[in-house]
């Protein structure tokens, strides 16, 4: 069982806005930045977005994040077929000895 | 550009050991840590541990304590992960990742499939 809780699946149609939630606790999301990773089918995960909407080069601003208390959300606007992937949230955890925690992942399907 | 290139797929028998390499380039190897993350078939991501390339300090996940050893070779900018006493449930893709602190895994290797089967 993952320390961060994500819905196992999400879906949307092209052009739609979808959100994926990530729930944690005061020791992880509640006190640290949330990081999101995208894993396209058959490929390695890649860093998608972190902190205060910081995106690595090449990640479009259609991806954004928000956080409230011990929960966070990834929003994807203008959904495109190439966004179909697994999405993982992660966060440093102050209660663990020098490590963070992953969410279980959300499979996003573009209908 | 930053690259992490891992060794090829392995097939091992239960009880054996595997050592996966991760050749890095495009950045100062000693300026970042390396974490190892694995993913069993159809499953999520599992962090295995981290090594400070500069100091050589390690921090292993409790699930792997006593079975895993992470090392680096600064002369070749290569990181290694050895997992011993393999079981069938160790079958997974193993990734090395450049750890930019705070669990920001900015760059990933392509993954190494390790299959444990009798």
What value does the mean pLDDT take over residues B92-110? 94
Which residues from B are below 8 Å from A50, CB to CB? 104
Q: What is the pLDDT of residues A48-94, one digit of tens each?
A: 999 889 999 999 999 999 999 999 999 999 999 999 999 999 999 99
Query: A49: nearest CA in chain B?
Result: B104
Which residues from A are below 8 Å from B109, CB to CB? 44
Where does the pLDDT of residue B101 fall: very low under 50, low under 70, confident under 90, or very high at 90 and above? confident
What is residue A1's predicted lDDT score, i.e. its pLDDT? 62
The first and second tokens of residue B3, run together, are: 């690259």
Mean pLDDT, chain A, rounded, equals 95
Which residue among A2, A44, A50 places its CB closest to the CB of B108?
A44
What is residue A96's predicted lDDT score, i.e. its pLDDT? 87
Enumerate the β-bridge partners of residue A85.
Answer: A108
Which residues from A are below 8 Å from B44, CB to CB? 2, 88, 102-105
List strand residue ranges (DSSP E) for chain A, in order: 9-12, 18-23, 34-39, 46-50, 63-68, 71-76, 85-93, 99-102, 106-110
Lowest mean pLDDT among A1-5, A45-49, B12-16, B50-54: A1-5
Distance, in Å, from the CA atom of A2 to the CA atom of B35, rounded to the nearest integer, reads: 18
Query: A50: nearest CA in chain B?
Result: B104
CB contact under 8 A, A99 and B110: no
- Say yes or no: A54 contacts chain B, CB-CB below 8 A: no
- Say yes or no: A41 contacts chain B, CB-CB below 8 A: no
Which residue among B50, B103, B109 places its CB closest to the CB of A44?
B109
Q: Return the percentage of chain A with pLDDT > 90, whole number.
A: 90
- Say yes or no: A7 contacts chain B, CB-CB below 8 A: no
Q: Is B42 exposed, middle or buried (0-12, 13-18, 19+ CB in 10 A)?
A: exposed
Which residues from A are below 8 Å from B41, CB to CB? none
């Amino acid at each position: 069982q993952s320390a961060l809780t994500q819905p196992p699946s999400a879906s949307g149609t092209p052009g739609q806005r979808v959100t994926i939630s990530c729930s944690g606790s005061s020791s992880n999301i509640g006190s640290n930045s949330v990081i999101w990773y995208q894993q396209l089918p058959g490929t390695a995960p890649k860093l998608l977005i972190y902190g205060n909407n910081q995106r690595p080069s090449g990640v479009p601003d259609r991806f954004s994040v928000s956080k409230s208390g011990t929960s966070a959300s990834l929003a994807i606007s203008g959904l495109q077929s190439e966004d179909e992937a697994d999405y993982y949230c992660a966060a440093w955890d102050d209660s663990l000895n020098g490590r963070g925690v992953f969410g279980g992942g959300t499979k996003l399907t573009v209908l | 550009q930053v690259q992490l290139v891992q060794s090829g797929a392995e097939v091992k028998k239960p009880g054996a050991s595997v050592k996966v390499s991760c050749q890095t380039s495009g950045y100062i190897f000693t300026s970042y840590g390396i974490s190892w993350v694995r993913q069993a078939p159809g499953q999520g991501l599992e962090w295995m541990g981290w090594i400070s390339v500069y100091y050589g300090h390690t921090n292993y996940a409790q699930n792997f304590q006593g079975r895993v050893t992470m090392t680096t070779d600064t002369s070749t900018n290569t990181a290694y992960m050895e997992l011993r006493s393999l079981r069938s449930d160790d079958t997974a893709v193993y990734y090395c990742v450049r750890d930019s602190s705070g669990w920001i895994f900015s760059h990933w290797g392509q993954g190494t499939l390790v299959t444990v089967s009798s």
